[in-house]
Copies of this chain bind each other. A is one copy, B any other.
Amino acid sequence: MTAPLHDKRPGTTSVQLPDTQQGMRRRNLSRVMHAVAAHGPLSRAAVATRIGLTRAAVSTLVDELIRSELLDELGPERPGRVGRPGSALAVSSRGPVGVGAEVGVDHLAVCAVDLRGEVRARAVQHVRNRGRSPELVLRDVATLAQRACAEARQVGLSPAGLAVAVPGLVARDTRSVVRAPNLGWHDIDLEPLLPSGLPLTVDNEANFGALAELWLGEGTPEDFLHVSAAIGIGAALVVEGRLLRGTHGFAGELGHVPVRPEGPSCPCGGRGCLEQYAGEEAVLRAAGLEPGEGHVGLLAERAAAGDRAVRRALGGAGAAMGIALTGAVNLLDPQAVVLGGALARLAPWLLPSLEQELMGRMGGRACGVTVSGLGPDGPLLGAAHSVARAVLDDPVGVCTAG
């Protein structure tokens, strides 16, 4: 699978660097990397034009990036152009890879993505993780990650970091899962349980899914609300191309927006939360199925086969989502709502009632609702890409270390 890493927002960098000569050099190294990753192969002159620096300045930066094995020189360009033929630059096909991992309720997955955005290694394990001890789950994740790293190293790549997507709340700027009800986890620090030797980041799967949509989605805007679901309902807000994390890292809890204030009690402590109408358990119940009996895949199959009870249940879930999203769109004024993850599969039966509520309640002024093309891979890809992008955002770390 080939996913261009930087077809979008090539100039943006999420790293805050000091405003000194040294900081400026680091930002300019990043600009060169992003330009070549997004538009390469490019000559030095073309890079200079793209990022608005002199050719001499770009050459110094490029030399440093070549020495650090982040860029490759492909040899002289074909003649026929004006001036001395330049040598085309490309992002190195060796060099760093980002390793992403996903802890799902029913599976574990790992992949490695290079600086061009190509998936270079991948492993999946089907295993029921609900109620399993975090130690065992994370030991399996570590094994899969080691396998992917070994595979990457064999072809000359060097893993730059490991990012793990979990279906739960992660305290901001930590590696601690505060709670992941669908795994049965409370206050689990992943750092000591995942000794990979790589820098570790941990985030909510909805956040990584939204980042994947931002970086890899077709025509995704800079401001959007990404709604995903597995068993709960999560959302992530992207504002001006940046994830809005919230003070504690808990932003995006769309599943606990009240839909009917006197509705059924929710384990969160609230009443009538969206999850009580549109969470997996609620939809299965509304369709006359036992909660243990099925999951999103079964619902999609039955709805596609014309099962009226399932379709009615999904219509009800879509209407509840439309009510909760009316609040979210009024508060956030996003450019679009994107249904991703498992919700994308159910979109044909959720969307009509969802859009009817949202548009009706907003007097026709609501933003559009689109369906993600990434499917359930979003969070895993988002995790791996986040590591690869961190290298592009601040290549000097690699340059210095290299």
Contact = CB atoms under 8 A, between A and B. Distances in A.
Chain A contact residues (Cβ within 8 angstroms of B): what range? 35 or more
Nearest to A251: B333
Contacts of A257: 326-327, 330-331
A211 to B, nearest CB: 17
Nearest to A252: B331
A51 to B, nearest CB: 10
A335 interface: yes
A363 interface: yes
A161 interface: no
A332 interface: yes
Interface in A353-367: 360-365, 367
A256 interface: yes
A28 interface: yes
Interface stretch (A96-104, A258-266, A285-293): A258-266
Contact of A324 (B221, B327, B365): B327
Contact of A246 (B235, B270, B327, B332): B332
A391 to B, nearest CB: 20
A160 B163 CA distance: 48
A250 interface: yes
B323 A269 contact: no
A244 B239 contact: yes
A328 interface: yes
Contacts of A362: 256, 268-270
Contacts of A221: 247
Contacts of A24: 19, 24
Contact of A333 (B246, B258, B328, B361): B246
A52 B21 CA distance: 13
Contact of A363 (B244, B246, B269, B330): B269
A274 to B, nearest CB: 9
Interface string A327-348: 1101111110000000000000
A334 to B, nearest CB: 6
A78 interface: no
Interface of A: 18-19, 24, 27-28, 52, 221, 223, 235, 237, 239, 244-254, 256-261, 268-271, 323-324, 326-328, 330-335, 360-365, 367
What are the 9 tightest A-B residue pairs by CB atom distance, in nearest-first order?
A: A246-B333, A269-B363, A257-B327, A253-B330, A270-B361, A251-B333, A247-B335, A250-B333, A256-B330
